Every structure is written in C-alpha cells, then in structure tokens.
Structure 1
C-alpha cells in the first residue's frame, strides 16, 4: 500500500480506533469463554472462518473528496475516489479465531487506503488483496462485527462492481476456505448499500429519438402486421399471392454439403418444425442474379403456395436463404406469406467477440452462440483465447499453458496455477477451463458447417500474464532438471528486467511478454503453427489471425497522474520517478534500442507485431488483425508481412471514433468497428444499479441503442444518442466517406462469471447487432463531408422512420424470435429496452 503523508496518519488511526471501540471488539471486550480458539489447528481454523465469517460491503459515498478525503494525495486517477467499509461479521454461535489467518478479497477498483490499525493490508496482484488481522488486536465474538473503512479509486455505482468469493487461508494451512456466505453470484447478498446515482435515464428518454421510439412502441405492430419481416431485415421483397404452411423443411440444395444441410435441419428441429415439411429447392445461380445481390452470400428466395425456391450466388447464399425462411416461420411452425426476397449482406465482417480468457465459456455455450450467429447471419466469431487471467487453448508441447494458465488456486508462487481473480474463488468456482485440441477442432467444424469463421486471438505482448507465468513455471521445471537450453526456449521475460509498471488490470511487469527476448518469437511461432494445424485438421483453414496488441502500458504514467509535488487538485500524485514504461528497465530491450533496431520502448509492440506478421504469413494466413493500439506506431499495412491487416477499432464515438476510422481507412487498413458505446455487451442494458456491467463507455446500452447505430456515417449518431454521461456532443464529418470491413459485438468477461450471465448480456442485443451488420436501413443518412450533427441542435435524421423500423423489429423479436431463443436453451433478457 502507498505510504500516506504523515499529516493523515493521526486522523486515520483516530478514526479506526473509534470504529473498534464503538463496536466493542478490542480484545478486552471479547468473549473470553472462547479464548482458546486461537489454538485451533489450521484446518479447523479455516473451516470455522469459512462457515461463519461473512464479509459485506457498504459504500458510503462516491465523491470522497467532498467529505474531506484527499484523493489526489492518495494517488487516485484524476483525483477521484470513493469511501466504503468492509464489514466482517461472525454469524456463528462461538467466537472466531482472533488471529493466524488472512482474508483474501477481490476489488476491480484499486484500494488506495485501509483505515484500521487492527489489520495489515496488501495488494497481491490484479484484483486480489490480502487483509491480515494483527495478532491479539481483537476478538470476533458470536454475532459481533467489525467495520474496516477503506478508500477505493473512482466509484462504485453498480452491484457488479463488488466481487464475491472472499476466502481465508489459515497460517500453516495450504487449503483455503471460501466464505460460505460470500459464495454467490448474487451481489445483493453481500452488498449492503451503493449510493444512488443521478437519474440520467431521464435525459436519454427526453431525446427526440427516444420520444419517437416511445410513440412507436405504444402502437407496436402486431405479429400479423410484421409476418413478412425477417430478422435481420432483407434488402428488398415483393409480396406474392397467399401463403405457405411451414411445419418443417425438406431441403434439396446441390450447393450445400451434407453437414451444412444437417445444420439447417437441426435448426429447424430446435424451432419445433417437426410437422409437415415444405419442399425447399436451391441452386447456385451465380452471376445470373441482379448485380447488387450477385456477391458472396447473396440470394433470391421465392416463397409460393406450392413450395420454396432459392437461387443463390454461392453456398453461403443458399444457407442464408434457408435461414431467412426459418426466420419468417413462427416457432413450432405456421403460415409464411408468399413473397420474393432479394438479399445480400451489408458487410464482409459481421462478428461477435467472446472473451473466454477472463472467465471461460463452456463448449456447449459456444455452440449455442454459433447457432444464433448463424441464424441471424453473423459470420465471424472472434475468440479472445488468452489474457492475463487465463490461457484457454491446449498447445501440444507446452502443457503448462493449460495445466497452470487455465486454472486458479491459492498458490502464491504461481507454479501450480494462477492466483484467483474476478471473484473466481481459489477452486475455480468460476474462471477455470480450456478447450482441448480435440474440442477446438470440433468447434471449428461445427462453426464451419454454419458458415461461421472462427478468428483466434492470442493477445500479445500485453495482457499476456497467463502465458508468462506458465512459461516461467516451465522454465523452473526444466532448469531444475539441468536442461537450461530447453528451459529458455519459450521463456517470455527478461529475468534482469526490473521495470516498475502497473497495468490496466493492476498487474506488474509479468503482464507483458518481453518482445526483446529470444523466446518471444519462438513462442509465437509455436502457438500460431499449432493453432493453424488445428484449423487445417478441421477443414476450416485459418484466414485471419488476431494478434491483440492492446494496452501495453503503465497506467500510472497516464494523464490523470502528476508528480508528488504537483499542484493540480484534479490529478493523483504518484512518485513518477519510480514508474517505468513496459520493458523500460529490460537489459535485453536496452540492447535492442542501442543496436538501432528500434528507437524506443514505445515502438516495441508494433515492432513485435511486424515480426509476428511474418510468422502469420509463413503459416499461410492472409490477414493479421490487431486492436487499434497494437498498430499505432506503424505507418500502415505495408509495414506488415501479410496481404491484409485488419484493425479492430474500439474508440467511442464521443471520444473521436469518426476521426479514427478516417485515419485507419486512409492508411489502407481493413477496419472493423467495435465501438464500446454501442457494441460492448459487457456494458449494462439500463441505468438500474442491479444490471451488471462495466460502464466506462456507456451507462446504458439496450437493444435500441445498438439498433440505432449508423456504422457508415458515425457523425450521424451524435444526433441520436448523448455521450456516456447523457450530455450532447457534436461531430462534423471530415474527409471522404470511410470504408469499413464491418462491425462486431464484444462480450468481455470480467463481470460475466457464469455462462448464464454471458447469455443474458448477449441476448437479445446480438439480434440488434445482426440487424445492423447485415442490413443498411433507410433512415441511415449517406455520409457527406463537412456535415455537422449534434443532439438537440441538428435535425437531419428521420427519427420517425428510425422509430417505425425499431417497432417492426421489436414486434418480430418479441413475437417470433424470443420463443426461438427460449427453445434453444439460451438464457435471455426478455426486455429489449432499458
């Protein structure tokens, strides 16, 4: 913990002593009848604490500066901090041991100070903190409690900000015990209070687009009125005569493989279409189709009373034509209006990103996601397979990656596992698991049969802690056997590096693999080669490799901090002289800089990305992808060895996404929009504090907000939605119309500990994502250079048309698609709006 200035120590201790005295918890007030509890064996001590100790959290206020806390002196980013207290309560009938144990708790906010002399407090790593009672400081009698005040960085506005599964470790006992009362994913069971937040929902509801939305929802079209509307919407349709009854499908399409036909038949069965089958014939017509649908995925679907016919540009078009028919068919079967549909996808990349590293997703859940992606014509599953908190794919020859990097336990040496994170507990109640080689190959085949391409991401050089720790364990094992050459082969750090860094998730320098080490490229080559081999075996060749490349930085060198003698009251004071950039004190990197191969440590991530691109190309992969900060020191795609470079762009619109997409496009990158304010599905649906999620980019992202996105004209969105805090902002289009490769939703997993939580966050927003990825709506204005947009100021967008389109979409989702999602077994948030 950072040492406080001396002028605060007396106040801190006085407050703490007052808390102890008022609770009558000093040793003299304790239950002397149980004074022998300190002599319990370590196993009994841990068991007693796990059974009877309860930790609750109470947040006093989210603007601690107003109550006299000097957040700047505590080193808070932008001098922003909150006050709260941990409440330790004995729920049992006997006194709990007075010492000889440590309580481990999780916090997604940095804990800046603990105000209690009876406890020693230590940051372990990441979000894990240790709270150790000082010997003889207090006794916790039956029914008694002790309050431990603390100061955390930023604020606590939602229940999901506060993590479960605190656990205890008794001195001399290797087996930790989770506190029974905190072993839950219902945060309301251990969070007593969170201060109410301003009701910014009212500001959102008052926008012109939301006013029109409310009117449209009040007169929501009936199921009959939207019987001819598919999800996603089609390019155009012409009504026919009558209707056809679809109780099942009898598919005859020469352009599809038997496994692709089986995938469609399985989808029909899931929807309950087991009755009288309608005859569906299909053929590949190629260039005979109209020019605007004569492209990959294009098709003509003719639904008549005597059957259904599909003329498609390619096999993908045949598949999507059947999926459109299934979209128009009610769950369990029913009438579908006769019509002719001509349709083709809007974007090449229609994606969904799933973080399986922070918290693992089971293969069955991923298969169900692939089913839904396929049904709604999303075609790329971006799997975030590795991060600081986990490595999730088996790599033959490097067993430590999954034996250590895919599980969490209480091993402070981290030679057996990673330490618990994100409320996982020390026994993988959540967070643990990986895809075996066979499971990954099977998943690739399953996805390919449904026209979904899997893009694997192995994040490097940042967010690589799981790999670094695992390879250090490998090094130690082989070095102990005397095999130094093998031990060093895949070592990912410079053992002489003493850089002092703090990452975005509060890890140290072991969060970064060292791009200057001999083992880094060897490791990248091994992993890429093995994953490419899995794709070949699955018959799903690897065409896009995602390098990651994001957030290789020390957050304490950010703009929200100043030196200890700084005078800005709005910035945290830290000892900047002790802070380093990643690899700033690595002799291996210093030697590389001295040789002239690289100008500074700032360029190392991009230099490493170029090196990895050569490995990617050598494995026959045509496109390398990266998050936008992974290529920021490159001149353009020409710096990389692959034929194409795709950039996943994660700026928010109110922080300049329109300018960023212009820059990336002008440089020649294939750009995919991953806009946090519209497309991060780990953000809350609504302002309700019980809706889980991070909210740094958006306090409320319901399905309507995602639906309202105009991807080709980002400035337009400034007229529809405010910024994160409900405030209007303006954007003026600059430069020519940008070209983008597509869009994708993001499901980061920090607050999704379970698969059920993941599905709740993904559905139904996934359907709104699919709508915008496949279909360009009439209310989306063409991009015009120099056009200005601002909420409440300009009035260029047809908001009535947007609202009417939403109402049609909402009617179809509620009446037809929600029952289908339920039949699939998915956990679904039934409310589309906030």
Structure 2
C-alpha cells in the first residue's frame, strides 16, 4: 500500500486545491465560483475589524485583536496585491478562468476565537498553544473561521488567502472551489528554520522576509545562530566592545531595537524567535574585544583545535569567564524574555585540545574537562532559567560530554544516525536538525519529543 501522505499528495494534485500549502489535514471542495473584493465585511468575535493596511504597533504587550487584524490585512494583501494568475496549474492555452460575475461573491468573513490567549500564546514552549483551526466557505459566500487561539486564526487566514487567484481580465479575484470545508492542525509543535547570522550577516529586511515565508508555510520557530568565532554582530550595551571589535563592519550589527523588532515581527506572524549564543566553543571572536577569556583563538593547524577556522573557546576554568557571562546574560536575557520561551547556549564541536593551551587547565582528558564543563553549563543554564527561559543545547553536550541537563532543556540533534532516537529514549526533549538534509538553511522539522 502507498503511504497515506503520498495518497493525500496525489489526491490533491488532481483536485482544484493544488495551491494550498501545507496540505490541510482534512479538506473538501466544490466547483462553484466566488469572487472577493476589498469591501467584504470582516468580524472578529462579532466585532467588525478594518481589513486593509493595518500594522500592529511595536510593543511587547501583545493583543489578540491586533494580531488578528494584522493577519487579516496581510491575507487581503496576499489576495489583492500578489496578482497570481495560475497559468502553471493548468494545461497550456486552456480556458480555465471563470466568467467575471462579481455578484457571486464572498459576503462576509466571520472569525471566532473560541479560547482565550495567554502570555504563553505569544512566547510558547512546544505544545503550549493549540494551533488548530477550521475554515468553511459556503456556496453563497459566507466564510467562517474558528480557532482556539489567535495562532490558529493566523493559519486559517493564510489558508484562506491561498484559495484565491487574480483574473487575467482585470482586478478580479476568485476561487473556483466553493463550498470549502477545511479542518487543520500542525503535526509537530516545533517547525523551524535556522539562520546563521554570524558567518553570513543578513539584513533586518532579509530576516523579516524569512519570517514572512515561514508564516506562509505555517512554520513557527526561527532559530538565530547570532554569534560565532567568525563575527559577533549582536550589540550588547553592557559589553560594547563585543560588536565594535567583533562585527565584520560597524554597520553590520543588530542593535537592541533591531532584536526587539525581529521578535515582535515574528510573534505577529506566529513565529517565535530563539536566540543562540554558541558556547563554550565557536566563540573565539571575543578575543578581539576582551582578552584573557579565550583559548586557542586562530590556532593553526586549525583541525587540531576546531572544525572550522578561526578556532577559539572559552577558558572554562577561568573566573573571569563567569564574570563576563554574568554581565552578558544580565544585559541580554531580560531583553529576550518578553518575547521567547527559549534561549540557546550552543555547545557543539567543542575540541578538547583547546584546553591543552589553557593555563587554567592544561589537559585534554575527558575526566578533567567533563566536570568543568558541567559546572559551566550549570551556571549558564541557571542564568537562563532565572530569566524565565528554557535552555537549548546542541547534542554533543549529551552525546560527547555526557552532561546532566535539566528536564526543561531541549537538545538539538544535528549529526544524524540514531541520536534523536537515543536521546528521546533517555528522556530528553529533542528536535532534529540533521545536517544530512542541509539545503541553504537548516530545517528543524521534527517534534520536540
């Protein structure tokens, strides 16, 4: 037998609903035509909302109505400004477009949110939010959207916008699929992408464009690998030399306002941003700003000290490192906490040979390094938790160093093989970012188990 997913994809390919993505869990469509115009009446929990040109205000205090109103505005923007005529979805030179008959039109859009959003809705841990929704369009043009959370409403409006095309004859927008009935929910609570902003600086507009694309695909976690040995573009006001010395150029930085804007932009589109400061390896660039914290910076031949130059790791038995982390976390974490439930402390590819060059250690023996690393992670994660966040780490903290982690810690597996299975079976929360499936971004497309 063919797997159910293949059958569903095949069925959708031969149905009119071939522009919906991701494929809804349940869908039925008809063959009646309905047009839509910008004068359609939209209500949210019975109260009219303005559907055109609304942008939610910049704030860390999120309001469900404002988020939904922004989503309606974007859905209308998608329908009325994208101007997509579906030539490629039909045979060449076919007569697929309906006759223009705007009297057959969408009459109203009623949005009902049946549950109440909480602070967890806007900075959720995996599984905190019910993202399900239902969407119906009657043959006579009545649209009903129902969801327990505003996040579900966002997904429903995205699906709704994908049902409509522009008519090549002019400014007319239509669906050929009424009546429509869709019930949908994501399969996994964590559906993410990782952007490496340290090795390859991306503009704020680039990051926001990525968030837009994620919202179109109903992805919900953007992981920003924001520092590494290559550069430190993140402005930390309490440690100004980090970005002054560590950024590729003074203009290639992310200010506190930039970071807050990225968080806010994501939340308004159902995307939670997870920030990563990779440590204790992948952090050699600090040597350019603050001396006596880093060992093995730019050591050669690099393959003895790191996977990719420039090398450099924290001197994990150095009290100055702990003082530095106090200052770093006390500045950064209170600015992350209003917007995210997680903070990533890295932990991949730490090379034991770095500590051979460390005057505070002078050993690469696991028996020496493991307790020091445990102390380091305990300290870092205590700061993360004190800020109300849950820690993320890369898998080597468990699979290589056998560290004991808190039950709230998410282990990010990336090396493939049986690691995800083994980590999950040993009781860890796990996501899979298998590098074997690397394209141009890392896709974090597995459940938190």
TM-score bucket of the superposed structures, by smaller chain: 0.7 to 0.9
- Superposed displacement of residue 585, structure 1: 3.5
2:279·2:346 contact (CA, 8 Å) conserved in 1? Answer: yes
- 350, 354, 378: which one aligns with 1:552: 350
Distance across 2 between alignment mates of 1:613 and 1:228: 46
Q: 1:632 to 1:469 in 2, by over 3 A?
A: farther
The change in CA–CA distance for 1:611 and 1:295 in structure 2 (over 3 A counts) is closer
Aligned to 2:282: 463
Q: Residues of 2 paired with 1:466 and 1:336: CA distance?
A: 57
2:36 corresponds to: 246
Does the aligned pair in 2 maintain the 1:550–1:627 contact within 8 Å? yes
Tell me the distance in 2 between the aligned counterparts of 1:325 and 1:535.
32
* Counterpart Cα distance in 1 of 2:72 and 2:231: 34
| Residue 673 of structure 1: aligned partner | 432
The Cα of 1:607 is off from its aligned counterpart by: 4.1
- For 1:363 and 1:378, how far apart are their aligned partners in 2? 19
CA contact (8 A) 1:456 1:546 kept: yes
Other-structure match for 1:235: 25
Task: Give the match for residue 507 of structure 1.
Answer: 310
Aligned to 2:245: 404
Deviations 1:286-322 (A, max 9, x none): 59xxxxx997101111112322111112221111111
1:309 to 144, 149, 152: 144
Partner secondary structure for residue 22 of structure 2? coil
> Which residue is 2:16 aligned to?
226
- C-alpha distance in structure 2 between counterparts of 1:528 and 1:444, whole Å: 18
Deviation at 1:520, TM superposition (A): 2.0
Post-superposition shift, 1:602?
A: 5.1
8 Å contact from structure 1 (residues 461, 513) kept in 2: yes
CA distance in 2, matches of 1:278, 1:465: 60
Instruction: Say if 2:33 and 2:174, in contact at 8 Å, map to a contact too.
Output: no
Residue 741 (str. 1) matches residue 448 (str. 2) = yes
* Correspondences of 1:456-605 after superposition (within 5 Å): 456-472=275-291, 491-493=292-294, 501-508=304-311, 511-536=312-337, 539-540=338-339, 542-553=340-351, 581-589=353-361, 599-601=367-369, 604-605=372-373
In the TM superposition, 1:203-214 aligns within 5 A as: none
TM-score (norm 1): 0.42
Contact 2:284 2:313 in 1 (8 A): yes
Deviation at residue 241 of structure 1 after TM alignment: 7.0
Aligned equivalents of 2:415, 2:236: Cα separation in 1: 33
The Cα of 1:603 is off from its aligned counterpart by 5.5
Assess if the C-alpha contact under 8 Å between 2:233 and 2:247 holds in 1: yes
Change (3 A) 1:512 1:336: farther
Pairwise CA distance, 1:679: 4.1
Structure 1: gaps of 5 or more residues = 1-208, 288-292, 409-416, 418-431, 473-490, 555-580, 684-705, 713-739, 743-834
**Shift of residue 448 of structure 1?**
0.9
- What is aligned with 1:647? 411
1:284 equivalent to 2:113? Answer: yes
What's the RMSD between the two structures over aligned residues? 3.7
Question: Which residue of structure 1 aligns with residue 76 of structure 2?
Answer: 268
Contact 1:458 1:548 in 2 (8 A): yes
Mapped to 2, the partners of 1:612 and 1:269 lie a distance apart of: 44
- Aligned residue in 1 for 2:49: none
User: Does the aligned pair in 2 maintain the 1:407–1:433 contact within 8 Å?
Assistant: yes
The structure-2 alpha-carbon separation of the partners of 1:682 and 1:281, relative to structure 1 and needing over 3 Å to count, comes to: closer
User: Could you say which structure has the larger radius of gyration?
Assistant: 1
**Number of residue pairs aligned between Structure 1 and Structure 2:** 384
Q: Given that residues 68 and 150 in structure 2 are in contact (C-alpha distance below 8 angstroms), is that contact kept between their aligned partners in structure 1?
A: no
How far residue 668 of structure 1 moved from its aligned partner, in angstroms, is 1.5
Q: Deviations over 1:763-806 (max 9, x none)?
A: xxxxxxxxxxxxxxxxxxxxxxxxxxxxxxxxxxxxxxxxxxxx
Once structures 1 and 2 are overlaid, which stretch shifts more, 334-343 or 455-464? 334-343
For 2:122, the equivalent position in structure 1 comes to: none
Whether the aligned pair in 1 keeps the contact of 2:75 and 2:157 (CA below 8 Å) is: no
Deviation at 1:273, TM superposition (A): 4.8
**CA displacement, residues 312-344 of structure 1 (integer Å, 9 cap, x when unaligned):** 122211111111111222367321522111111
Q: Is the 8 A contact 1:247 1:273 kept in 2?
A: no
